[in-house]
Amino acid sequence: MVGSDLKTALENAFRLKIRKMRPVGGGDIARAYLLDTARGPVFAKLLEKDEGLDMLMAEKEGLIAISQTNTLSVPEVLGCERTESGSCLLLEYIPAAAESRSSSEDLGRGLARMHQVAGPSFGWHQPNYIGRLPQENSETRDWASFYVNRRLIPQYEMARLGRLLSPAEIPDTALMASRVSCFVADVRPSLLHGDLWGGNYLISTRGTPYLIDPATYYGHSEVDLAMSLLFGGFSKAFYAAYFEIVPKQPGFELRVKLYQLYYLLVHLNLFGRSYYSSVRTLSSELFD
């Protein structure tokens, strides 16, 4: 049963009459509820952490940025507030259905078109989060510098402080900068989802693909593809449709490994030693 205090807190914060509410899946760090309201079903995502409002506001901004590209759908943002029961993001509720070949192709084409939305520089106008970890986004015009200094180094340092990696297991900064510069020539800033694994999209009952839970910034388009390939969940039809619009470039497979290293470091810092061997293997392959 959902407590009446939570229901009252949400009603007061959003001036919304809630007839019923029930828990639903919402990810690793949030509680989520389906609300039956006068305006129809609404999805509520709650975080009780001190930084919860910042995290949800960053998610809200990412969803709005993707929506404004008119390429892929996202749930409509209905509100984001701090409540007596924690911070809450209210979203349009999207009933999900099974994926089809057609919807996979629509997702691939839509992502490719989203990646064609270019920014003035790499990064974002403010920090955001990857899972519950902070993600530094200070803008720069050099992608290799951004990726090394804003992505790899903070995660390596976090792993060192958490005693998940020893200092000897962290690549030299100058070496990383040199190698990455060789790997990623001629990159333009593309709008990214930022955390594109199989759990961060859904297919509506109308067959429309929706992106959810973004960690948005401007970066190399292949970052999203690298994450999509890390844990599976994307079909061959998705990739075929994507590459029809944005053809695969030479060196793609090596850069996929480079970008997957960031996400494996994130998982090492979030979930511990089970990701140690994957991080060490990729670090050695790329930087030894």
Token representation of residue 36: 């039956």
- In the chain (288 residues long), the average pLDDT of successive 10-residue segments reads 76 91 81 92 91 94 98 97 90 96 98 97 97 96 97 98 97 96 94 97 97 98 98 93 97 97 98 97 96
pLDDT recorded at residue 1:
39
Token representation of residue 6: 């939570």
pLDDT recorded at residue 61:
97
Give me the helix-helix angle, 101-115 and 236-245, nearest 10°.
40
Residues 6+ apart with CB under 8 A from 99: 203, 235
3-class SS of residue 279? helix
Active site residues: 195
3-class SS of residue 237? helix
Distance from C-alpha of 6 to C-alpha of 50, rounded to nearest angstrom: 17
Token representation of residue 130: 């990857």
pLDDT recorded at residue 233:
77
Query: Taking the C-alpha atoms of 99, 101, 107 and 112 in order, what is their torsion angle to the nearest 10 degrees?
Result: 160
CA 189 to chain centroid, in Å, comes to 16
Distance from C-alpha of 178 to C-alpha of 268, rounded to nearest angstrom: 24
Residues 78 and 89 sit within 8 Å (Cβ to Cβ): no
* pTM, entire model: 0.95
Nearest to 85 by CA among 58, 59, 49: 49
> Positive or negative, the Cα torsion across 69, 70, 75, 79?
positive
pLDDT recorded at residue 269:
98
pLDDT recorded at residue 38:
87
Token representation of residue 17: 């009459």
pLDDT recorded at residue 3:
61
pLDDT recorded at residue 2:
57
Domains of the chain: 4-92 (3.30.200.20), 101-287 (3.90.1200.10)
pLDDT recorded at residue 77:
97
pLDDT recorded at residue 98:
95
What DSSP designation does 171 have? P
Distance from C-alpha of 3 to C-alpha of 90, rounded to nearest angstrom: 18
Distance from C-alpha of 232 to C-alpha of 126, rounded to nearest angstrom: 30
State the DSSP string of 27-43. -SS-EEEEEEETTEEEE
Query: Taking the C-alpha atoms of 228, 232, 237 and 241 in order, what is their torsion angle to the nearest 10 degrees?
Result: 10
